[in-house]
Amino acid sequence: MSETVTELIITLSKIGFVLAVLLTAVAYSVYAERRVSAFIQNRVGPNRVGPQGLLQPLVDAVKLLMKEDIVPEKANKFIHSLAPAISIIVSLSTFAVIPFGDTITIGDRVIQLQIANVNIGILYFLAMTSLGVYGVTLSGWSSNNKYSLLGGLRASAQMISYELSMGLAVIAIILMNGTLELDKIVGSQAGWKWNIILQPVGFIIFLVSAFAETNRTPFDLPEAEQELVGGYHTEYSSMKFALFFLAEYANVIVSSSMIVTLYLGGWQFPYLQDMGLPAMAVSIIQVLTFASKVVLMVLFFIWVRWTIPRFRYDQLMNLGWKVMLPLGIANLVITAIVILLMKS
């Protein structure tokens, strides 16, 4: 077998593994949302289908598949169908550059635990998150519904407002590490040199921006039920609605993964290399470490949703432009000055 064919098989295997894990995680993030919210509100939550309700996501998927797909008569039918596909494809594709481990040795071959190790990994992440807003905006416009259109416009304004702050937080990380490659950024956080310690303000900026980018409460203005019925997905049903639902939770998982990668050490388990464990055991522990950190971040997203009330739209814009953006600029300038002084 030629080297090219072998590399292709390895890449396709990594893609299949990541998609299987990611789609399963998305389904059970919905289950976790319902159980955690029930715990916070002193309710029971889903507990009938399977032990502790663990088969509820499967039943929900079957139910949505069986529902009628309704499209408004005067909607742009092609774009109406395209919008949810854009949202879920962009969400899943973003994970391609995130390293979920270092390397694993199988036989005589060393395999990197990352689908695409590109030298502009951070730029790819920012570009894909920017594309994600098109799914929401186009769904609002194509539905021929004023509430949906307002939700789509809110999503666009929200993305522009908070993507600037997120970019400034990321630039500070790039200045510190001198690279755009995510695996090298993770490598620089060995031991306890996590970037959350070195960049606490940048971490807060990125975290808040991630909530805004994923349209999660308290930033879920694009779908605010009280004033916009359901916002951009008001006119969606059946599996098209499910795709938007899945895209939201996929975005939460991807954003959590990026937060872990940039600020929480990624797959780094402090001093693991010094324990003298076999190489395979080290690789497995690294993957489990990454997964555990991501799960904790997803639970944090859920906890915040059921703790903090939704902002008003003017509060959303004021926070983005009058607080987050100046704070991001100040953090970047201070980081640059400190790095310059350390080098001189």
Instruction: Please say if the pLDDT value at position 231 is more than 80.
Output: no
DSSP line for 48-109: SSSGGGTTHHHHHHHHHHHS-----TTS-HHHHHHHHHHHHHHHHHGGGG--SSSEEEETTE
Q: What is the pLDDT of residue 226?
A: 73
The confidence score (pLDDT) of residue 1 equals 58
Whether the predicted pLDDT of 4 surpasses 90: no
| Overall average pLDDT of the 161-169 stretch | 90
Q: Distance between CA 199 and CA 186 in Å, rounded?
A: 14
Q: How confident is the model at residue 157 (pLDDT cuts 50, 70, 90)?
A: confident
**CA 96, CA 106: separation in Å to the nearest integer?**
21
pLDDT score recorded for residue 8: 84
* Cα 334 to Cα 246: distance, rounded to the nearest angstrom: 39
Cα–Cα dist 49/126, whole Å: 39
**Per-residue pLDDT for 258 more than 90?**
yes
Per-residue pLDDT at 3 exceeds 80: no
3-state secondary structure of 27: helix
Q: How many whole angstroms separate alpha carbon 319 and alpha carbon 326?
A: 10
- Does 319 score more than 70 pLDDT? yes
Under the banding of pLDDT at 50, 70 and 90, the label for residue 147 is confident
Structure token pair of residue 193: 């040199």
DSSP code, position 284: H
Is a pLDDT exceeding 90 seen at residue 313?
no
Q: And the tokens for 103?
A: 């390397």
What does pLDDT average to over the chain?
Answer: 87
| Kind and range of the H or E run holding 112 | strand 109-112
Residues 6 or more apart in contact with residue 304 via CB below 8 angstroms: 211, 216, 217, 218
Strand 109-112, strand 103-106: pairing:
antiparallel
Residue 181 phi, psi dihedral angles, 5° rounding: -85, 125
- What is the arithmetic mean of pLDDT over 49-68? 87
pLDDT at 189: 87
Helix, strand, coil percentages in the chain from 3-state DSSP, rounded to 5: 70, 0, 25
More confident position, 124 or 226: 124
Region 236-264: mean pLDDT is: 89
* pLDDT interval class at 237 (50, 70, 90): confident
Residues 6+ apart with CB under 8 A from 295: none
CA distance 129 to 118: 17
The pLDDT assigned to 254 comes to 92
d(CA 5, CA 294): 33
Enter the tokens of residue 186: 């993770």
Buried b (16+ CB within 10 A) or exposed e, 58-83: eebeeebeeeeeebbeebbeeebbbb
| Distance separating the N- and C-terminal Cα atoms of the chain | 53
